[in-house]
Chain A
Amino acid sequence: GQNIDQPTEMTATEGAIVQINCTYQTSGFNGLFWYQQHAGEAPTFLSYNVLDGLEEKGRFSSFLSRSKGYSYLLLKELQMKDSASYLCAVRGGSGGYNKLIFGAGTRLAVHP
């Protein structure tokens, strides 16, 4: 089966940098995704990793280590609007190439 763990809550200060970790266990792996979800809204896609290393996209970066089953999302120059839940998701596993499972999400609160 698949198992995904992320911290439940984090707080940070506006302008700072925050790192949200995600560990996963899966019998098959076809990519790891990060999504942002504001309260009451649908998740929006932030980043994708399938090979080891760092992917950078503006203020957001995501890192993957497949051997360690570990990823992190790095948010730089935090803004108040970054207060949201951040969801780690893994694609693959015994259920098939496209099976997409989400972690419980990390609620990030950005303070002035």
Chain B
Amino acid sequence: DGGITQSPKYLFRKEGQNVTLSCEQNLNHDAMYWYRQDPGQGLRLIYYSQIVNDFQKGDIAEGYSVSREKKESFPLTVTSAQKNPTAFYLCASSTSHQGQGAFFGQGTRLTVV
């Protein structure tokens, strides 16, 4: 089945450690996105990529890094420079075709203690 997979669903890390969240899609989508969602809030764009080997900062990129070495994969690293990393992280992918929305993974809930 085609889809977008995030792993793990829940992740715990100690303060000061970098952590990488996985996002894989087999939908052959060109564009991929990372969003952060805090309780009761909307989705805020961290990074997005429109094509392999290219990505752009979103509104809250500080303290995060990404790579797009393969079309299928868009991992997000939450670095120790991110001041408040505990949040729900959502990955999405989309085509450029008109009429098709972005599809989301199940999300990763990161808790930093």
Does A105 lie within 8 Å of B42, measured CB to CB? yes
- B92: nearest residue on chain A (CB-CB)? A100
Residue B35 is within 8 A (CB to CB) of chain A in the complex: yes
A69 within 8 A of B: no
Q: Report yes or no: A50 in contact with B99, Cβ–Cβ below 8 A.
A: yes
Given A96-B50, A97-B50, A98-B48, A104 and B42 touching (CB < 8 A)?
yes
- Restricting to B74-106, which residues have a CB under 8 Å from any CB of A? 90, 92, 94, 96, 98-106
Is the Cβ of B33 less than 8 Å from the Cβ of A100?
A: yes
Interface residues on A, range: 20 to 34
Q: How far is the CB of A92 from chain B (nearest CB, A)?
A: 11
Contact A98 B31 (CB under 8 A): yes
In the complex where A42-B107, A43-B90, A98-B94 touch, is A33 in contact with B101 (Cβ < 8 A)? yes
* 30 pairs, CB–CB < 8 Å, chain A vs chain B: A31-B98, A41-B106, A42-B90, A42-B104, A42-B106, A43-B43, A44-B104, A45-B102, A45-B103, A48-B98, A50-B98, A87-B43, A89-B102, A95-B48, A95-B58, A97-B50, A98-B30, A98-B50, A98-B96, A99-B48, A99-B58, A100-B33, A100-B94, A102-B35, A102-B42, A102-B43, A104-B41, A104-B42, A105-B41, A105-B43
